[in-house]
Amino acid sequence: MGLTTVIAFAVYGVCFIIYHHLYLFITVRSPSLTKKGRINACSFSWLKRSIEESEYLLVVHQIRNIIMSITFLASTSVLLIGFLLAYVLTEVPETNGLLLVESIDYPGWLTFFTLTYSFLNLLLALRHLNNLTVLIRSDVDKLEEIEDRSALEYLEKLYMKGSQRYMLGRRGFLYAIVVLFWYVNVWVFVALIALMTVSLSYQHDF
C-alpha cells in the first residue's frame, strides 16, 4: 500500500467518522446545535400530539412512507454489493480448493464496505420503525412495565433510533458514490470526500 493510498484512506476515515458518528454525538448531547436535533424535537412533538389525539393511523401511514424509501435503498444496496463482489473478486482456483484474490482493488473494496455499512443501518432502521408501527397501539401499562419507562418515551426512542439509522444509511450511499471517483484519480476522490463533508455539514447539518 503506497503513501497515496494511505492518505486517501486516512482522509476518508476522518471525514466518515466526523460526518456520521461525531455529528450524531453532538446531536444527542446538544440537540439545539444541529438541524437533526431540531427536527427531532419537532418530530417528537408531532408523535406525542398524534398519540394523545389517537391518530394512530396517521402515524403509521407517515412511517410507512419512510419504510418504502428505506426498502428501496436497501434493495439497491444489495444489488450494488452483489455487482461489486463479482467485479472486485478475481478468483484463482487452487489445487486445494481455495480461492485467492490476484490483486487488491482498494476503491472497489472501500465502496463495498461503505455500501454494506449503509445496508446494515437501513436494516436496523426498518427494525425500529416496524416495531414502532406495531407497538403504537399496544397496551400502555404493559409496555411501561416491560420497558420501565413511559410508553411515549419508548416510542419516541424507537422513532429516534430508526430516524438516525435511516440517516446513516442515506449518508453511506453518498459516500459510496464519491468513492467511485477513486477510479478516475485518487486525488479527485480525496478532494471530493473533503469537499462533500464540509459543504453538506455547513449547508444541511447545522
The backbone torsions φ and ψ at residue 34, rounded to the nearest 5 degrees and listed phi first, read -115, 155
CA dihedral (62, 66, 68, 69) in degrees, to 10, reads: 150
Residue 1: is its pLDDT beyond 60? yes
DSSP state of 180: G
**Chain segment 81-104, per-residue pLDDT in tens:** 888 777 665 544 554 555 444 556
124 in Cβ contact with 165 (< 8 Å): yes
pLDDT > 70 in the chain, percent:
91
For residue 126, the model assigns a pLDDT of 92
> Per the structure block, which three cell numbers stand in for 4?
497515496
Residue 121: is its pLDDT beyond 60? yes
**Chain segment 103-113, per-residue pLDDT in tens:** 567 888 888 88
Task: Give residue 128's pLDDT band: very low, low, confident or very high (50, 70, 90).
Answer: very high
80 in Cβ contact with 139 (< 8 Å): no
Q: Residue 93 in 3-state DSSP?
A: strand
Nearest of 82, 85, 77, 79 to residue 108 by alpha carbon: 85
Place of cell 416510542: 155
Whether the pTM exceeds 0.85: the reply is: no
Q: Is 76 exposed, middle or buried (0-12, 13-18, 19+ CB in 10 A)?
A: middle
For residue 3, the model assigns a pLDDT of 84
Strand partners, 99: 93
**Chain segment 13-62, per-residue pLDDT in tens:** 888 888 888 888 888 888 888 888 888 888 888 888 888 888 888 888 88
Q: Is 182 exposed, middle or buried (0-12, 13-18, 19+ CB in 10 A)?
A: buried
Q: What is the mean pLDDT of residues 129-134?
A: 88
